[in-house]
Every structure is written in structure tokens, then in C-alpha cells.
Structure 1
Amino acid sequence: MQQTVIGKSEQAAIFHEAEQKGLRLAIKGRLVALILMGGWLIATRSGNPTLAFEYGTAVAIFAILGVIHYRIIGTAQDRYWVKYLFVALDIGILSALIATQPIFDTVDLPQAVIFRAPIFPFYFVVLGIAAFSFSPGLVLWAGICGVAGWMGAFGFAIRNMPQTYDWGDMGIAPDTQTFMTYFYSPDFIGTGSRIQESIALFIVACLIASVMWRARHTVRRQIEAEQERSAISDVFGQYVPPAVAEVLISKRGTLSPIEREATILFADVADFTKLTETIGPKGIVEVLNAYFDAVSQIITRHHGVITQFQGDAVLATFNVPVEDDDHAGCAIRAAREINDLVHQRDFAGIHIQTRIGICTGTVIAGSVGGGGRQSYTVHGDTVNLAARLEVMNKELGTDVLISGTTTKYLAADDFRKIGQMDVRGLSEPIDLFTFAAAGELNVPTDNVPATAS
């Protein structure tokens, strides 16, 4: 099994890709916002063609900048500072318009009057767009640029005013007349209000950046946890079945005992002792490794779980611990593929034969052990019967013996009845089947004089 490792560089690449997708989405949203806000501003000033043209030009400039940025994202020209540049350009252009463009060009009033209009929320729109980037740094940068742009525009607008009034000029407790005289004066600038707005913008930027940082931290921890889980599963899966390893990890190391109908497949190498004497210990280990590897792949592919390697034998379960309604069919297909495989190829240069027993019935499965060590095992008469059927292949001259409790779930034409076997504890004998050869009829033969305990 190949272990997947996600290093810091790969994590950075994941976040970078998320930022790029977020920026593209943000630019699309920005365009929609431009159309809505620009359309409103132009429509409400349709009676003043000059002013409407100026707003239209400004909207067009913002749109062009967005298209340029969109086309740069993900290209060779895309650098880490590019997104910061375009946010600064957005806020810079917005601030320049606020600092220089009057509300109405037909009214002779100080430019500071524009700060009484509802234009400050535009900075929050830029901040919200920056949040799509999934980048805390960009959000903070947008907040800092917004504060600098807002206060810079304010400073530029009041720089040449010969006389200004501020909140302090009203006194601590002004009466109505005094308040209205100062507040509605064209020379009232409200410096404290501008500072308060800037503080609010920066606080919101910090809050959004904190949320972004926490979200990135959470995603990073999930990636690391998934990496650790994958590593544990890969290593653990070398010693227990991968399906069992996954369940054990999710259950934190234990599998509660369950009683469930399952299909058991028991496969053994024929004449194993003789083969060992012929090719020696080293040779037999090479043969078994090649054989077990191939068999494991087949069983896993058919949703089975190998619970034990017993010398040269393989014990596989279907429907425990992972549920599968087609467990009988899966076991039969796995057995047929294993049987075909050993007839078609050698293992480490040696040709072998297998005997397979399959039985369906109730089993008890779970983690058992002691001394701090546990293993996943299955128990019950069904397991014993599958092992007995494997042995009986030698007596009957078959490669695969299948219990009638398994074949009843499948098409009868696929099997040939061998006979019956008496089982201690059961009132009725169990029918025995093997795979039907091409053109072979499914006809019963004589009873098999065998008893299983």
C-alpha cells in the first residue's frame, strides 16, 4: 500500500489554489456590484449628462481592472503581490473620486460635504470582495488601504478650506440652534466621525481576517488529520485487513462483537507439505507471498476481508465487518477468479493448486485478545464448515466446494450438485455444490458420507 504524504509545500499549494478560485469568484461578484451600483448612480443622475458620463467612466475603469486581474490569475505573471496591488488600486481610485468629485457639479460647496453622503459603505464592499480570497493578509490589507484611502480623501478634501467646524466647536452640551448651526454648515467636517468610521472599517477587517485565519487553520488541521489517518491506515493495513483497519481507526481500536449472517471463504494450497520439501523454506515463502498478494487483491476487489493467514491458508469473510447484501455472490465470484488464476499462472515460478470451501451462515465476529494485543476474528459453525469443505475437496476430487446455504442466493445453473453432508447439530443434511463446467447439467449425485462437527 502506498502512503500519501502531504507536506507543507503541498498544503501551501492547496491554499493558493483556494485563493485563486476565491479571487476569480470575487471578481465576478465585483462586476455584479459595479453593474448594480454604477447603474443606480448613472440612472439617478441621468438629468446631468456630464456627471452621468463621469460615473460611467469610473465604472468602466473598475470593470477593466477586474478583467485584467482575472486574466492574470494563475498565469506566469501572477505574483503574490498582484492581488494586493489590485485591491490598492480599487481603493485608491475610489478614494480619489471621493476626494475630487462633487456630489453635484452645479453646487458650489466644499468637497468635504461629500462625506455626509452614504459613500463610506463602498469600502465595505471592497472588504467583502477581498474576503472571497480566503486570505487573511489580503483582508487586512484591504482594511488598512481602506482606512488610509478614506482618511487620505478626507484630508485632501479639507486641505484648502479657509474655515472649518468640528464637533468640538459645538461645546459639550449644545442646544438645538447651536447644533444645527454648526452641523448643517458647509464648513462642518466632522473629523471625529471620519476617525470613527475608519476604526469600524479596520475592526471589521480584523474580524474577517481572524475568521479567515481560523478557517485556514481548521482546514490545515483537517488535512494533517487526514494525512495521519491515511498513514495509520496504510501501516496498520499491512497487518490487518484494510477494511478492518478503517473501522478500527474510526472505532478507536476496538470492534464490538456482532452476530450476523456472513459468507466464509476458506482457501488452502494443495500438497503444501510436499511442495515445501521440494523447494525449501525460502522458495515456499516467495511462492506464498506472490500467491497471497494475488489472492488478497481478488478478495478485496470483491468486497471481502481477509481475517487470517493460517500457514498456507486464507480465511476471508464477506458481510463482516463491512456489510454487503451481495456477500454470497461476492464470495462465489472471488472463488471463481482465484480458481481460474491458479490454473492460468505460476507463483514465483511454481505452479500450485488450491482448494476452496465456501459456506454461508451465522457467525460471531469481533476483536479478541489479551496482553494488550487484539485481532479481528470470526467464530461459529459456519467458519468450521467452510474449513471442512476445503478439506473435502481432496476426497471428492474438486477444487471448490460450496454449501447449499450459499448457492440458494444465486442462480442454480452456475453450480453442479455433488451430494449432501450431515452436520452435527442440524436435523437436515447440507447440499454440496461445485462450479458447473461449460454445458454441464445441474444434476444431483449420491450423498457424500461425511459429517462435520
Structure 2
Amino acid sequence: MTRAQQVGVIVGLVIVAILTILRAGDPPLMRQAREVAFDEYQRIVPRAFQDMPVRVIDIDEASLREFGQWPWPRDRMAMLVDRLSGMGASAIAFDILFSEPDRLSPRTVMRDVVGIDPSLLGQLPDNDEIFARSIADKPVVLGFALSNEGHYRPEMKAGFAFTGEPPFHAPPRLDSATPLRPQLAAAAAGIGHISLNPGDPSAVVRTVPLLLSDGEQLYPNLALEALRVAQGASTYVLANAPDVPDTITLIKVGDFVVPVTAAGELWLYVSPDRADRYISARQILAAGGVSPEIAKTIEGSIVFIGTSAAGLQDIRTTSLGRNVPGVSLQAQTVEQILSGRFLSRPDWADGLEILAIAIVGTALVILTTFVSPAMALACGILITALALAASWLAFLYGGLLLDPLAPIISGSITHFSATAFRFLVIDRERREVRAAFGHYLSPSLLYRIEHTQDALRLGGDDRELTVMFVDVRNFTEISERLAPTAVVAFLNTFLDALSRHVIENEGTLDKFIGDSIMAFWNAPVDVKDHAGKAVHAALAMRETLAHLNADDAFGFGNGQTVGIGIGIHTGIACVGNMGAETHFNYSAVGDTVNVAARIETACKDVCFDILVSESTADLAPQYALIEAGALALKGRSTRTRTFAVVGDEGLARSTEFIDLKHAHGQLIEALASRSPAARAALRTAKRKASGLTVDLAEFYRRITRRAEHFPNTAARKDKVGSR
């Protein structure tokens, strides 16, 4: 191990230690990230809705329209209780506060009338008394909420038994509650709190506190109390962890055992909100009575009375990201207990996650230091996948909530830090090579230089290459009318825009020669379909130049545009580092390079912007190609057959191009045989070409002057039909 590697391991282990200590402290940001991950699990696999004997009597907008605005008089609430009780509801729980006298009570209304005889007030009905008489001897549970004022505590209707020391300091704190009307509290069969997430800054309700405590007494929540009353139970039994004071592990209510957090909270496993869960209060209070179907649904059910009306502001957000009435979560709490589908975060979860951070971080530090970054990254991805899979399977099959993010995020930070240290210190020599050559060579060549021994030696290899030359048309005229700085600006814009298509198509930029680009494919590494990629790059250059001209990117104005010629040829060339020992360039030489350069020059005579040789066309038959003639290139004793690149694969399959190719073939045959039918064939080809986006007008205008480029049919290898 080198000294740099030793330092890298030490630095990495220090980072792992810091992350481990940070997780042990469990800051709010980590808790929030963990809870969001658990939310995502529920969204993927929510608790399935089951038709449980639990219903919500919804004081919805339709009910408010029919019976008037809220609050309703309590004699109407008494009617609601009487009808539900008459239908056989096993428990009736109000997710509504009754903390003030009924302002709509006749006795209350008449008390403020001037001159009323006080002796008459006692003869007027009082809605609170009516409501109290209605709920007496019925399975009715009333709710209370936390308050910041006063010292009121409701009287509990149930007892508590403990398997150990009473955990009075485990649940959330109750300092004061909203007072219940005395006659209502005395008549109710149960009293429970309706707070869903007291003290939690998040708007999402993920846990429900089944108990509150003032330090001397425990107070059940509304759903738990409704379940107790429905079973006729009188006592809750609480179990705690051995030798761990002030914790709660289980709550037994009647025949049901509920696993809870140490603070007595139930992790909500939410099901999607369903209309089946709700019955409108309007249907219960209907003047004509309740339908038999609704009565059958109510019979034996635990009924929660609450509101979904937006104006009454009892809307909560669930882990599924949906806004639902608060009373719905009370009902879902009972549904979850009845179904036995619980979520839990075991006491050992924190310890396991802290240990995972330490182990994973240490492993990544060692891997990143001693193996290649790619191998370390692959191992990191594998560890991430395993952590996610373990967490997901624990949730899916065991209802366990294990944090997948803590080891993943900590591992990512460790891997990034160790990789950064390696980059800054251990890989300095490799970085210096990249800094020296990065502006001049393609990424594939850089990779070869970095990873191949003696890559910078002089020499070359014979390889099949596809070579491209790109040149600006009339560059001399352009440079004459521009200042030298403007010429440089023009060339920078032009070369940058077009050369990037070489890199994007896995090519190697050889050099810039004034206003020209030389590039080749299939070196220094093998490139599959190198001829096709070169043709694709040429078509992309054509499109890019059209956009540059349309946007006046060169700043010429007056509608002046720039044209190019592109020549492409495929053949054997020598490619490698060429020059002197102290100054060399990675390049290609040979007849293949010369032919490509001559084809680019021939674009002027043919009056078309992209020409390829027959060898390139044979390797890229999927493109829209038409024969451009057998050209006599400078320095070659034989003619070189060329093809014009009209468009891409999509155009090649189009009906328009197929018709043009057929007409063009007939024109070539007529020119080759010097037939008088050439003129008619030319007119047909021009007409077919006029429907394409590529301008072939000049190409066809010049073609009749190039009859010598199309030798007699008997002397030609006719491959037009196969292209």
C-alpha cells in the first residue's frame, strides 16, 4: 500500500465515522427522508380496502345544503344517534367537539330576548339535555382535543392495567383539553381524543397516538375507545418492554392486540379512500326514513360521525399523498386493527441502520482505494440494490419499516469522497495526461492513452477506416469581406457546431485544416457500423448548418448563407501517432484519405453537398442514396463511383423517395446509353425530387452536362436497384 493509499483509507474511515455518528443523532432531515421513503412504499402497495364493519357518517356538502350550515342543533345530533342506534350500530363515535352550549337551543335563544319571563325559560327545551338523554345508555363515544388554555381533563370511562410499571411518560403530553359539556360527558359510554399528529411539524399523518398522558392518567384516542365500547370491554391492558421503563409495546383492547411504538403510536397503513366507507348524514336523517340497504350496512358496525365539507377544515394528508377527512383516518385506524395488517419499526432498526452505515462505508473506502473506480461503483450499486431490496422485502412480507436511504446516502457520500480523494491525489499522473490532451483528442483516444502502456509511442496500424472531409464553400470570398477577427469568430462557430457531430457518432476528430474538418471512424477503437455512423454525422451537419443559416448565427445578414461539401470514403488506411518524438499527432494517412478529400472537392462539380464512395454506400445501404456518377478524381487512374446522400433511413423507406429512386435509375440508364429519352427521364426525376425537403434542382441541372460520368450500361456494375 502506497502512502497516498494509506492516507486515502484514513480519510475515508474518518468520513464513515462522522456519518455513523450523524445517523446515531438522527437529525430531523434524516427522519423526514426516512418517512418519505416509507410513504413511497405505501403508495406502491397500499393496504387493500376490505369491507369491514366500520362506516363514516359524513356531514358532507349535500347534508349541509339540506339541513343548514354548521353547527347543527344538538337535537338533530340526537336524532342521528337515535336512528343509528335503532339500526344496531355497535358504537357511535363523534369526531366532533361539543365544548360549548348549543347556541341554537330554544332556551339559549330566548335567554337573550328582552323582557322574557325567567320562569318561562325553564319550560323551554334545551338541546344539550335532549342530546344527553339520547346518548345515555347507548354506545356513544365523544371526542376531545388538545388545548393550550386551562387545566381541563375529561373523566375516563375505562380502566388501565399494566404488565409492568405504568408508562405515564411514554405517550405524547396532554396538558389541557377542550372541555366537554358536563351532561354530555356524564352520559357518554366512552371519551377519546381526536388529535391525529400532535406536535408533528409534518402535514402528513403517518402515525396516530393511541394514547395521551398528563403524567398521572392515560387518555385513549377516539378510534381505540370506539373499538372498546363496541366490544363492551372495560379495561385496556398495556405491555412494555422488559427493563425499559416508560415504553409501550402492545395495547390490548377486548379481543384485539395492537402493536405500537414506544410512545404508544400506531403506524398507519393506509388504504385508498373509497366511497364505500362513507354514508351521507342526509341519508340517515331523511324524512322518509333509512333505506334497508343502509340499515343493513349500519347493523353491527362501528360508526364514526364527522365531516368532509371543505369549509369545516378537517382535511388531512395521508402517506398516499391524498387529502382525506380527518374522520376517515379514525375509521381507518379501526379497520387496520380489525384486519391485523400492521406496520412496525422495531427497536433494533436504528442499531441495524447505524451498523449498516459503518460496514458499507468501510467496504466502499477499501474498494474505492484499491480497485478501479468502475469496479467500486459497480459494488456500490450492488450494495444499494441489496439495501433497497432488503428494506422493500421487509415491508412487503413483514410490515417492517427499515430505512433504505441512510445506508444508501451515506454510502454514496463515502464513495464520492473516496473517489474525489483518489482523483485529486492517487490518479494525478493520469489526470495530467488528460489535461494535456483533452482539448485535442476524442474521448475514446484519451481512454486508450490513459489505459494502454506505450500508447504515446510513434507508429501506426493498417485498419479499415471511414474517412470524412468537410469544407466551407467559397471561403475565400467570405474571408475577403470580413475582418480577421470576424473570420476567426465565423470559423469557431462553424467548426464547433459541426465537429461535435463527429464525437456524438463515435468518430475521431483528426484535425482542423483552415475551414475544413478531417475525421475518421473505426480507430483507435473498433466502431460498429462505422460507415453508417459517418453518414449519420454528415446528415446531422447538414441539418445543423441549416439552423445556423436560418438563425443568422454567423452574423452575415442580408440573407447570406454558408454552404459545405462533405466527402466520405471507406477503405484501408494507416492510423497512429505520427510526427517527431517530442511532437506528434494521432492521424490517418493513405490512399483512402486522399480519395475522401477528392470526393469532397468533387461536390462542387456534382452540385450536391454530401457524396460518398461506392465502398461506403455498400456498408450503409439503409440511407437514401442515389447514384452521382463515376468521377475522375485527381491523382487516380480509374474512376470512382459516387452516391449522393439524400436523407436518412426514414426517407429511404418513404414512397416519395422510392419513386424518385426509380425515376433516377431510368435517368441514369438513359444517360449511360446516350438515349434521346434522357430529357423526359430528367423531367420526371426533377418532378419526383421537388416533393423532398432536400434541394436537388442544381444536381439535376448539372447532371446532363456530366454524361461522361455515367459509362455505358454494359461496362457498369449496376447496384442502383439494390440500394
CA 1:377–1:286: 2 relative to 1, 3 Å: same
Residue 345 (structure 1) aligned with residue 548 (structure 2)? yes
- Structure 2 runs not aligned, ≥5 long: 1-7, 25-240, 250-261, 263-344, 365-414, 648-655, 672-706, 712-723
Contact 1:356 1:390 in 2 (8 A): yes
Distance in 2 of aligned mates of 1:449 and 1:277: 37
Question: 1:297 deviation in Å?
Answer: 1.4
Q: Deviations over 1:201-222 (max 9, x none)?
A: xxxxxxxxxxxxxx99986764
Residue in 2 aligned with 1:39? none
Q: Deviations over 1:432-453 (max 9, x none)?
A: 1112376332523644399xxx
Contact 2:469 2:596 in 1 (8 A): yes
Residue 254 (structure 1) aligned with residue 456 (structure 2)? yes
The letter of the residue matching 1:245 is: L
Contact 1:20 1:133 in 2 (8 A): no
* TM-score normalised over the length of structure 2: 0.34
CA 1:238–1:253: 2 relative to 1, 3 Å: same
Question: 1:243 deviation in Å?
Answer: 2.7
Question: 1:320 deviation in Å?
Answer: 1.0
Residue in 2 aligned with 1:294? 497
Distance in 2 of aligned mates of 1:250 and 1:270: 40
The letter of the residue matching 1:364 is: C
Distance in 2 of aligned mates of 1:404 and 1:14: 63
Question: 1:223 deviation in Å?
Answer: 3.6
Residue in 1 aligned with 2:697? none
Distance in 2 of aligned mates of 1:325 and 1:428: 30
Name the SS of the counterpart of 1:259 in structure 2. strand
Distance in 1 of aligned mates of 2:430 and 2:615: 38
Residue 415 (structure 1) aligned with residue 625 (structure 2)? yes
Contact 2:623 2:645 in 1 (8 A): no
Q: Deviations over 1:85-109 (max 9, x none)?
A: xxxxxxxxxxxxxxxxxxxxxxxxx
Taking only aligned residues, the RMSD between alpha carbons, in angstroms, comes to 4.5
CA 1:265–1:18: 2 relative to 1, 3 Å: farther
CA 1:301–1:130: 2 relative to 1, 3 Å: closer
Q: Deviations over 1:374-432 (max 9, x none)?
A: 11110111100000011111112111111010000122661110111356998864311
Q: Deviations over 1:183-215 (max 9, x none)?
A: xxxxxxxxxxxxxxxxxxxxxxxxxxxxxxxx9
Residue 335 (structure 1) aligned with residue 541 (structure 2)? no
Residue in 2 aligned with 1:364? 574
2:709 corresponds to which of 431, 448, 453: 448
Deviates more, 1:278-287 or 1:433-442: 433-442
CA 1:221–1:344: 2 relative to 1, 3 Å: closer
How many residue pairs get aligned? The number is 282
Report the structure number with the largest CA radius of gyration.
Answer: 2
Residue in 2 aligned with 1:159? none
Q: Deviations over 1:251-298 (max 9, x none)?
A: 355165211111001001111111111112111110111111111211
Distance in 2 of aligned mates of 1:393 and 1:242: 31
Name the SS of the counterpart of 2:482 in structure 1. helix
Distance in 2 of aligned mates of 1:289 and 1:14: 48
Residues 208-357 of structure 1 mapped to structure 2, 5 A cutoff = 222-224=422-424, 225-226=426-427, 229=430, 232-251=433-452, 253-254=455-456, 256-346=459-549, 347-350=553-556, 351-357=561-567
Structure number with higher helix proportion: 1
Contact 1:19 1:135 in 2 (8 A): no
Q: Percent identity?
A: 24
* TM-score normalised over the length of structure 1: 0.52
The letter of the residue matching 2:567 is: G
Distance in 1 of aligned mates of 2:570 and 2:18: 50
Distance in 1 of aligned mates of 2:624 and 2:17: 53
Distance in 2 of aligned mates of 1:424 and 1:288: 27
